[in-house]
Chain A
Amino acid sequence: MKISKLVQDIPPSGIRVFFELVLGMKDVISLGVGEPDFVTPWNIREKAIFSLEEGYTSYTSNKGMIELRREISRYLKNKYGMDYDPEEEILVTVGVSEGFDLAIRAITDRGDKVLIQEPTYVSYGPVATICGGRPVPVKTEPQNGFKITPGGIIGACDKKTKAIVLNYPNNPTGNSYSKKELKAIAAVVAKKNLTMVSDEIYCDLTYDFDHTPFPTLPGMKQRTIYLNGFSKAFAMTGWRIGYACGPKDVIAAMTKVHQYTMMCVPITSQMAAIEALKNGERSVAEMKREYKRRREFVISRLNEIGLCCHKPEGAFYAFPSIKKTGLSSLEFSSRLLKQEKVAVVPGTAFGASGEGYVRISYATGFDKLKEAMVRMERFLKSYIT
């Protein structure tokens, strides 16, 4: 069949081969997983099962069940002091993945440029391209903790620049932004008249300070499409549910696309999400405490075995430098996999500026983390002297 030029032109992922290698191997300790190792808390699963028994198997309102949108509104208000009207400013999406796609479709015309911090979560660039936009990577520097700076934004902007995508806490670096840093970014966003697409899916996993949602910054609510979801904090990746909040015109535009392409999010997942917001707080706090402990452990061990790594502020990733080994990210990861059966993700999977780094996920139990560090230490002894 003839494939469209648009899709053909999306470059294949450079590390596909490495992935197949990992998936084909047995008894690997994987630090390459971008999702929680916890299963969804039982009260949430039980609620979904019960909803099926009761016969909740229909479509719902396109925007998502109003009960759920009210819970989302309440949750954001209580936790972050945010103010979104459940009727018109919240859309329930098939994960942040769909929310992001809808956001970009709703705001970009052909040829519009979208700034994307790099290293970056893998979906942003290709989605922008599919939507007819032009992704522009904004390189970040390790000495700034891979954070985007006002100068970096201004340098990347031209007349065609429409929007900027920010993700914090960040996949892959684990870094987040303080309120002060965000204010500086907000100032240039306003100055350059940009729309902010803020992917804050890891916000509940912020360890050292309070997370500041982008729309809460002065003047930013009307410029921001705020994306969040249940995948990470509630360990609900497989349920495929998230939400987008924003000014009512943009939510209406996103809903228009969503109603034709998706209709609505599966009702079972919406039922589960209501329970998550109502009674999930304790489980989230418990998982967060566990992640935090693992973070301390992993960072301390990485630095000890010679992989320089600053302490990430959120999510469940560490992004250490492997430059001392003299290997490329891909070589490092391939050799580590073959020699010691430990899987990490080469930094280049997240863009060219990830060269010299690897992503380590600590969403894995302590027993495995401890063993993985022993193996990595052994591996490194042959490269670092």
Chain B
Amino acid sequence: MLDSKIPEGTLADKWDNYKEHVKLVNPANRKKLDVIVVGTGLAGASCAASLGELGYNVKSFCFQDSPRRAHSVAAQGGVNAAKNYKNDGDSVFRMFSDTIKGGDFRSREANVYRLAECSANLIDQAVAQGVPFAREYGGYLNNRSFGGVQVSRTFYARGQTGQQLLLGAYQALMRQVGANKVKTYTRHEMLDLVVVDGKAKGIITRDLVTGEIERHAANAVVLASGGYGKVYYLSTLAMGCNSSAIWRAHKKGAYMSGVSWIQFHPTCLPQSGEHQSKLTLMSESLRNDGRIWVPKKAHDDRKPNDIPEEERDYYLERRYPTFGNLAPRDISSRAAKERVDAGCGVGVMKNAVFLDFSKAIKEQGKEKIKEKYSNLFKMYDKINAVNAYETPMLISPAAHFTMGGLWVDYELMTTIPGLFALGEANFADHGANRLGANSLLQASVDGYFIAPYSIPNYLAGELKAEKITTDHVAFAEAEHAVKEQLQQFLNINGHLSADHFHKTLGKLLYDGCGLSRTKASLEKAIVLIRQLRAQFYTELKITGDHTVNSELEKAGRVADYLDLGILMCEDALSREESCGAHFREEYQTADGEALRNDKDFCYVSAWEWKGAHAEHELHKEPLIFENVSLTVRSYK
């Protein structure tokens, strides 16, 4: 039975109750306890820095050449907090209920409430670190609104909020490195989790420069390795983003949840050809001032500025008059797909819609728009050689954020004792759809405010436990398995690159398990991915050696993505309803909205790995709502 360990008390009391009753570790004992943190994004850097400050012995890992480059750096739009600085009716409870509703009632009440509760504190923390958030002329912090809500609770630092928050966390981490509390291992990739007597006791890594396979032992292991949206190949994620850390932990016993809940971001730059390696995100904040439209007529090839007002279809304003262009992401993305499928798409591949600023520029002036979004307009120009102050941008949906991830309880501990998952790597707070600007928050709150309580609560019990060292046989076995797999990749000597398999997998997933899914599309995708996986193990080709070898790195990541892709389809297949980002075409209302089924599917899926040749086993954590009523999520 899955125990989410929700504390006693009313919703508002739970987190305080928890904190008041956690076990503490005497400061003198802390340096005897080792913690491994995989990942230096907002979740990992904040966790490693905070545990270092407390006096634990921390090892921090990332695959990039510096911790500052984790993909949190790419977040543009902002970070939410229920400060109610605008006096517009915001509160912890409202943020909680917006997030629960935004997630289409598929997340845990207690977790979401805690996220809202800790949000105000994060802004304080970031400002103290020197994060230069936008300010009003009077010197007060500025806010803007983001998709899916009607209050202004989003804090931002121009279009580089993620970068600035991450640099704050990175600097806090560097401070602990300078003080010898944290040791960093850059250009290191975690390739296995070591479990001893059912508890997480360490990891196996590969040094991406020397190629050395290393053993690292610890009293607790934290995975803050980010999202796996790159499974679709074309996505807003960085090239190195991977599922390997969580997938290998999954194979060692950690359950995976909500695996098929993937958010497709509505405002990305469309694919323009086969060579493409990523889809760049244009911040959703643009939807505050940009209007989305397509020509009313299908296959209309006129230039956007030549299409008169009455021949334009502002389809979000038409379908969702209350929220209009600020409708939540899943709804906006699906509405775009609906228009593109109807033949009204624009751009070279007819896969895009317009995002138009002419009205905002007319009303507010170009200077004001420049001040808000200049870096985004510049980026657009760099990539497309188009001036978006004059012609509308072309945008289309792209795989972006994974609500799914490792199952965790209230303490952010996985089903393996001593293994914690933070940030995008866990499934916890966003349900079936994440609200914009909530995930920088979640990653930070997990690392700064939750882990420093819940990890010591576990570590307190470790003081008397037998110390496991890297000489333990479990380390030898894990190391051996990692080495064998790498050798296997090098030995195949086929004729197709790792990228070939990754791109093919991505296409299969976009078609079968993308913005909308059907039983047939999912079943077909499973068959095709299985075939692709078999081909991978016979026809992969890697050149180069055991040391610096980006192809060898890719092969390991693609191998895990192939397994994960199948589980994504199975997860989507088992959920015979539409909720949030998971849209099963069989389950929709007459006007094409998602049809949730609370009677049969008000649970979180938790998949257990049963071995390479067996089916996964599905466990269910029922969701209980005591503070909000399950309504139909409507943004009309």
User: Are A and B subunits of one complex?
Assistant: no
Interface residues of A (CB under 8 A from B): none
Interface residues of B (CB under 8 A from A): none
